[in-house]
Amino acid sequence: MGFDWDNVTSVFEKIREEIDELEDAVNHLDKNEMSGEFGDLLFAMTNLGRHLDLDAEQSLAKTNEKFRRRFAFIEERVAEQKIDITSCSLDELDGFWDQAKKKGL
């Protein structure tokens, strides 16, 4: 019907605009406004996928699986060291995450 962005550059501009609006909503601590702006951002991101001929749900499913593999790696490393994961710093966990990435997980 013609109600669409002409090019992918315009979609990226819209995404940046939506991020700014979401950040403003967060600064106002307004949950209703945050929810609306978050939805707008997701909608714009889905449209980016469409413009790039990517399926948003498939892309998200792949990312979720990648996260599961990497987090399982973190849990294994922590268990090997016989420490409680909740006692690890974010830097320590990020280090394990980087190891998982290097392993191609």
Domain's final residue, options 35, 54, 73:
54
pLDDT of residue 1: 66
**Global pTM?**
0.79
Its domain, for residue 82, covers 59-102
pLDDT of residue 5: 85
Alpha carbon of 58 to those of 9, 61, 70, 91: distances in Å?
23, 5, 18, 30
Does residue 1 belong to any structural domain of this protein? no
Which tokens is 40 given? 């707008």
Does residue 66 belong to any structural domain of this protein? yes
Total domains present in the chain: 2
Q: What is the mean pLDDT of residues 24-44?
A: 96
Does residue 2 belong to any structural domain of this protein? no
Is 3's pLDDT higher than 80? Answer: no
Same-domain pairing of 47 and 75: no
- Asked if residues 15 and 48 have their Cβ atoms less than 8 Å apart, the reply is yes
pLDDT of residue 100: 96
Does residue 30 belong to any structural domain of this protein? yes
Same-domain pairing of 13 and 44: yes
pLDDT of residue 73: 96
Give pLDDT tens digits for 75-87.
Answer: 999 999 999 999 9
